[in-house]
Amino acid sequence: MDFTLNDEQKMIQRTVRDFVKKELMPYEQEVLKNEREGRPGMNAEDIKRIRQKAKDLGFWGINTPEEYGGADLGPVMTALISIELGRTFVPFNFGGSADNILYYCNEDQEQRYLIPVINGERRSCFALSEPSAGSDAGNIKMTAVKKGSEWVLNGEKIFITNGNEADFAMVFAVTDKEKGARGGVTCFLVDRDMGWRSEYIHTMGEWGPASLVFEDVHVPEENILGEIGGGFNLGMQWIGQGRWLIPARAIGASERLLQMGIDHAKTRVTFGKPIADRQAIQWMIADSGVEIEATKWLVMRAAWLQEKGQDNRHAASMAKLYGSNMANRVVDRVLQIHGGMGYTKELPIERWYREMRLWRIFEGTDEIQRFIIARNLIRGNVKVGELLD
Ligand SMILES: Cc1cc2nc3c(=O)[nH]c(=O)nc-3n(C[C@H](O)[C@H](O)[C@H](O)COP(=O)(O)OP(=O)(O)OC[C@H]3O[C@@H](n4cnc5c(N)ncnc54)[C@H](O)[C@@H]3O)c2cc1C
């Protein structure tokens, strides 16, 4: 088995690592300060300027098909890039990409939604979760009732990332109650000016999701994304795309944190010796190193299976479950190694601590990943001890 990256992969990995170090990490103190004072970490102008620099290096639309001007680098390369971007908490992405399900847009919708999102002219949000349906997403209650050539939407969505900023939402609503989730749920592209409103939800992290309220929002028939009744499958496709990207980010962040822990342990002297000399601290460092490495291979295999066009759902669930828990353990240990300083807002550890807690909840909680993994094993969809393909 050959784990070697090819020359192109190595070059891209190195370039992104340098970019993160040179262009993003210098903003870290400013991001911490802004967030402490209740402002967004980065201002729009800075993001635009850095994105342009990245674009000049060829980093724009890394997953976007070439026909839309993207680089279409594929899952393995995307995993490697996500690991590098994870090394900083500066909120940044290269831009030039769109939600995977927007590629189901028809020609007219492409012009109004997909292409403006790729070009950064419009912002989307993915609105599936409801107050009474999170993990149990098939139990959504929002209704869409047909009246003439329009559908009338009523209901509430909750915890919608970008829900305050987006100018349109991909909204999932029940169009045929009898058919249940598969067949009875449809996805609508709903512009904010069609009448929905959003309310900010305060969380322990720096993410400010929103609740979205729909009261008799009229949506034209031509704004259905995909097929009537095909919404649930689209929703699952959207959620599935992020499953191995979250732990990819977790690897970069955890490696950075572990290095901070090691550096601190080597210089912090107690009772006449650096704490790095103490076995209690060494074990925290050792366990973190092993768990990061394990996550790396779970993530890379999930990405590689996808690159080969194989079903990677089981592998992605394992990577998400293990990787997001790994990150939470690593940040906790690194905070412990820093003692009181780890708990302050002078250092980014507590910020990462708050952010990483979310990774065990969204895009499928720990319990839902375990449920998926166990179901596959119990039903024999994945066989224990199966030979590597
Ligand atoms: C910051 C943030 C951003 C988000 N962004 C989005 C977004 O952009 N779009 C969107 O649609 N949603 C979004 N979500 C919602 C997110 O996907 C849900 O919060 C998540 O799926 C869990 O659903 P829930 O909160 O309703 O918890 P519940 O489903 O009520 O679960 C509560 C607890 O019970 C456990 N549980 C549930 N069912 C079972 C079971 N059968 N067996 C064992 N344990 C179970 C869960 O794992 C959890 O621990 C976001 C959430 C947050 C916090």
pLDDT of 198-212, one tens digit each? 999 999 998 789 999
Residues 208/178, Cβ–Cβ less than 8 Å: no
Q: Quote the pLDDT of residue 1.
A: 84
Cβ(135) – ligand 1 distance below 6 Å:
yes
Q: Quote the pLDDT of residue 295.
A: 98
| Residue 331 CA, ligand 1 centroid: distance in Å | 22
| Residue 210 CA, ligand 1 centroid: distance in Å | 14
> Which residues partner with 126 through β-bridges?
170
* Percent of the chain residues past pLDDT 90, beyond the cut: 96
| Residue 28 CA, ligand 1 centroid: distance in Å | 30
Cβ(362) – ligand 1 distance below 6 Å:
yes
Q: Is 156 a catalytic residue?
A: no
For residue 6 the two structure tokens come to 């090819």
Nearest ligand 1 atom, CA 135: 29
pLDDT digit string, tens, across residues 305-316: 999 999 999 999
Q: Whose CA is nearest to atom 35 of ligand 1?
A: 367
* Longest CA span, the chain: 81
Q: How confident is the model at residue 340 (pLDDT cuts 50, 70, 90)?
A: very high
Nearest ligand 1 atom, CA 129: 11
Cβ(161) – ligand 1 distance below 6 Å:
yes
Phi, psi of 39, rounded to the nearest 5 degrees: -100, 160
Residue among 100, 214, 362, 363 whose CB has most ligand 1 atoms within 8 A, to mutate: 362
Sequence-distant (≥ 6) Cβ neighbours of residue 344 within 8 angstroms: 350
pLDDT above 80 (res 300): yes
Q: Quote the pLDDT of residue 163.
A: 97
Q: What is the pTM of this model?
A: 0.96
**Sign of the torsion angle spanned by Cα atoms 9, 11, 13, 15:** negative
pLDDT digit string, tens, across residues 270-283: 999 999 999 999 99
Q: Quote the pLDDT of residue 386.
A: 86
| Residue 202 CA, ligand 1 centroid: distance in Å | 16
Cβ(209) – ligand 1 distance below 6 Å:
yes
Catalytic residue among 37, 150, 363, 386: 363
Q: Whose CA is nearest to atom 50 of ligand 1?
A: 159
- Alpha helices, DSSP H only, in 73-203? 74-85, 107-109, 115-118, 181-184
Neighbour count for residue 290 (Cβ, 10 Å) = 11
Average pLDDT over residues 91-120: 97
pLDDT above 80 (res 114): yes
